[in-house]
Amino acid sequence: MATYKVGYFVGSLSSKSINRLLAKALVKLAPKELVMSEIPIKELPLYSQDYDADFPPVARTFKQAISEVDAVLFVTPEFNRSIPGGLKNAIDWASRPWGQNSFARKASGVIGTSPGSIGTAVAQQSLRGVLCFCNSPLMNTVEAYIQFTPGLISAEGEVTNEKTAEFLRNYMKEFHLFVARVLTVLPRDA
């Protein structure tokens, strides 16, 4: 079976992010056909159209990293009922300048965790709207809103609750199948 490169974004800039723990867990639970690598967003300056004529090196490197993967996975918290500013900033960089949108025709998935019982549902809905505008084919099922409890995921990315581990394993299996379907219809070299 073919392997696919998946770049993932952690929406939180915090070194203690529970979404970073979730990302570690997803990497461990992903099928072997998904080769996962983080695409960091922390060093990007605030986007401005003034950069469109000549992106700074960090933004060029960022866009290049996206171009080298087959799919992207967003692992994001919810800030004030929406996505974090740092993540939105990264999406703005990737989608610009006009006509050079890095997300166009690139399979994407969205997942997140929070201590609240709705587990980032509102942030994910906001992000889905942005990704639709960016012409990114988006996995709409299985949706994953994870309520984080202390100890749910270890610092090494081990999920301590077997039902949650199985759910996340299935999410990554479904994401793998979705990426394969998207690339069948929208091959990268087309």
Residue 120 included in any domain: yes
pTM of the model: 0.96
29-55 pLDDT per residue, tens? 999 999 999 999 999 999 999 999 999
Contacts of 124 (CB under 8 A, 6+ apart): 76, 78, 110, 111, 112, 143, 145
Residue 173 included in any domain: yes
- d(Cα 54, Cα 57) in Å, to the nearest integer? 9
Residue 104 included in any domain: yes
64-107 pLDDT per residue, tens? 999 999 999 999 999 999 999 999 999 999 999 999 999 999 99
Residue 190 included in any domain: no
Residue 149 confidence (pLDDT) above 70:
yes
- d(Cα 158, Cα 147) in Å, to the nearest integer? 16
> What is the residue range of 84's domain?
4-185
What are the DSSP calls for 53-82, one per residue? TS--HHHHHHHHHHHT-SEEEEE---BTTB
Residue 10 included in any domain: yes
Residue 65 included in any domain: yes
Residue 92 included in any domain: yes
Task: Report the CATH number at residue 171.
Answer: 3.40.50.360
Q: What six digits make up the tokens of 45?
A: 């300056």
Residue 119 confidence (pLDDT) above 90:
no
Q: How many domains does the chain have?
A: 1
